[in-house]
Amino acid sequence: MKVSIVVPVYNEEKFIKNCIESLLNQDYEGECEIIVVDNGSTDRTLEILKNYPVKVIIEPRKGTAFARQTGFLSASGDIILSTDADTIVPRNWISKYVEEFKKDENLIALNGEVKFKEVFNFTSLIFKIFTPIVLKIERMIKGNNSFAGCNFAVKKSAFLKVGGFNLNFITGEDIDLGNRLKKIGKIKTINNPVITSSRRFKMGFFKSLFIYILLNYIFLNVFKKPIMNNLPPIREIKKSNILAFIVFAIILLTFSYFEVHAQLNKKLLKKPYIIYQLNSKNEVLITFDDGPSPWTKQILDTLDKYQIKAVFFLVGKNIEKYPNEVLEIYKRGHIIGNHSYSHSPVLIFKDYKTIRKEIDTTNKLIEKLTGFKPFLFRPPYGRYSYIMDSVIRDLNMKVVLWNDDSEDWKLLSPSGIYFKVINQLKGGSIILFHERKNTLKSLGSILKEIKSKNLKFINLEEEKI
């Protein structure tokens, strides 16, 4: 598979040497060409490039969109990789992208994370700290990171199909390209980071925040176009202050919290394998989280008394502590679901491999004890992400959330738990309990009240949700 790498340059004498040498030091054994597109350099950039086996093209029209477009159209590779002159790529950068394309023929484009190298002022420090957090949040919302010109790969056929870069964009042409590619095929963010310069943050905190977050991200993703038609070269370093940091942190945290929950609720809950309420108006489902526990058998006794079946979402590390309770749940005819291995509150921020291991490990523990392979999953704390969603789809499982929270995790009294459940109760309720002492004390009265309302307890042995 032939690969072309395109690098736009403009007065890059300080950076171009390290960039090119990192590209020439790749472990990829296939055919590869490096195309450098000069955008009117007046320093020693072109002189330095004469020392390397790269193809140099001159693009007189100013702007990275023109430079990238010229380079991409000149590329002869099946796959085109994009990076910048102030960026250093790891030795396996090319091979990682190629391997991913070979594994999934439906992929048309890939990208990886961008990490900032140096810290020279307060602004660069803040962006170095917060950028990984922002990227994780973006993956949760969109399923992938927006394209950055310094680190993405695309099949040339797909690039041509969408018409290449938008030449009307002075900045943000990379993000725009990624958004248009996503409309015609599968794109994916993988673990293939590059190291780039922090020089783009020399202009001061608020200007950096405006250009690289408001301009390049929000406007391009929401309004599909930038709001500036001129982006001058960055030269001078300006100071920032602690007030700027506080404002930025408040904006970031507030926006992130509401955006994540709004977007996930709107998009993910529409998927047919994610259940947060029952379709029937005269049925309810009882569920228990965080077990097995010292109270499991007594909870089972109470359920038996009222002839009710439930779903127990078990935590892997607790299964290892109470294996007999797992067997008891299964023998008494209840369904066992997966609630991850560690019940980590930050599982949504983990990568695919980590999440897959959490779920796989717990599934294997349950299957080894009971012979039953779980098909239901409940994310810890109900926090669900696009990466987690990919794992669930690959495992062919279903996600069960809830719409009636007992809030027994707040250590409410038995009467407090009772009123929380009953006040929310309706046909179609999925009730969330946890294996707690006060839950056990309130359970009998809650089940009795539900039965008095002529609601049917769904039995997952007989019915599929």
What's the pLDDT score for residue 120? Answer: 53
Residue 139 has pLDDT above 80, yes or no: no
Enter the pTM of the model: 0.53
What's the pLDDT score for residue 236? Answer: 42
Q: Which residues contact 382 (CB under 8 A, 6 or more apart)?
A: 401, 402
The 10s digit of each residue's pLDDT in 413-438 is: 999 999 999 999 999 999 999 999 99
Whether omega before 292 lies within 30 degrees of 0, making that bond cis, reads yes
CA-closest candidate to residue 297, choices 268, 272, 331, 320: 331
Which are the catalytic amino acids? 289, 434
Tokens of 206: 């608020």
What's the full length of the chain, in residues?
Answer: 465
Q: Which residues contact 170 (CB under 8 A, 6 or more apart)?
A: 63, 65, 226, 228, 229, 230, 231
Domain ranges of the chain: 3-266, 271-457
What's the pLDDT score for residue 463? Answer: 46
The 10s digit of each residue's pLDDT in 201-253 is: 555 545 555 555 555 555 555 555 555 555 555 434 444 455 555 555 555 55
What does the DSSP assignment read for 194-231? EEE-SGGGTT-HHHHHIIIIIIIIIIIIIISS-S-S--
The 10s digit of each residue's pLDDT in 54-103 is: 999 999 999 899 999 999 999 999 999 999 999 999 999 999 999 999 99
Q: May I ask the CATH architecture of the domain 3-266?
A: Alpha-Beta Complex (3.90)
Is the separation of the CB atoms in 169 and 71 below 8 Å?
no
Upper half-sphere CA count for residue 72 (Cβ side, 13 Å) = 30
**Residue 130's pLDDT band (boundaries 50, 70, 90)?**
low
Q: May I ask the CATH architecture of the domain 271-457?
A: Alpha-Beta Barrel (3.20)
